[in-house]
Amino acid sequence: MMQNGGVKTKGPFDTPEQRFHAGRLGMWLFLMALAVLFCATIIGFLVMRLQSEAWAELDLPTLPAGLWISTALLIVSSGTMHWALRSARNSRAVAVRAALVMTSALGLGFLLLQGQAWLQWAEGLESALMDVDDEQMRFAATGFYVMTGIHAAHVLGGMLPLLWITGRAFAGAYHARRWAPVYFMAAYWHFLDIVWVVLFVTLLLGI
């Protein structure tokens, strides 16, 4: 509430519903900006990949098998995040806590498997690029790290608010009248899930 000449006037976001709609708009604008970033990354990789005439001669290693497992973990974590949101909307406190803990564990597992995949890919990539002089092709070949690294950074960044929300869930903060923070976290997490699937398919077809 604001005071103007001693008279209280309503602000634009005084009610929970108004604050939720404003927050939802902000979240969608944020996700749209991230979508532009990831689209630019994918397009850049594909352009470099297609412009390199010598790509077929490059003996790149196959994608690490762990990426399939990490993909499965992230997809499942999207399901547990949705479960957390539904449970919060229905005031099922125990289910909210369980779902958020599972999502956090799955997100951590995804990051650990990604780190392992980077190490495995590096072993084969070093020998594949040993005699390559085409800088454009070398850059395209390392696009694996660019795309997965940017995504992993956003997952890591999302883990921080996810862990905070999980902690708040154990304090009983979320119920049928207050679930907006879980909604915003779920929107971000589902976005990361969709982006990763697109990135993974791009890597499968491009490498």
pTM given for the model: 0.86
- Quick check: helix, strand or coil at residue 8? strand
pLDDT mean across residues, the chain: 85
Which pLDDT does position 143 carry in this prediction?
77
**Average pLDDT estimate for 113-137:** 73
Q: How many residues does the structure list for the chain?
A: 207
Which value, to the nearest 10 degrees, does the dihedral of the CA atoms of residues 124, 114, 196, 67 take?
A: 60
pLDDT digits (tens, 9 = 90+) for 50-91: 776 666 566 677 788 899 999 999 999 999 999 999 999 999
* pLDDT value for 98: 97
Which pLDDT does position 2 carry in this prediction? 45
Predicted local distance difference test score (pLDDT) of residue 32: 95
CATH topology for 64-207 is Four Helix Bundle (Hemerythrin (Met), subunit A) (1.20.120)
If one compares 37 and 60, the residue with the highest pLDDT of the two is: 37
Average pLDDT over residues 105-109: 96
* 83 within 8 A of 95, measured Cβ to Cβ: yes
Three-state helix/strand/coil letters over 67-133: HHHHHHHHHHHHHHHHHHHHHHHCCCHHHHHHHHHHHHHHHHHHHHHHHHHHHHHHHHHHHHCCCCC
Q: What percent of the chain stands above pLDDT 90?
A: 56
| d(C-alpha 187, C-alpha 85), whole Å | 10
| 176 has pLDDT over 70 | yes
Q: How confident is the model at residue 3 (pLDDT cuts 50, 70, 90)?
A: very low
pLDDT digits (tens, 9 = 90+) for 93-103: 999 999 999 99
pLDDT of residue 9: 53
What are the structural domain ranges in the chain? 64-207
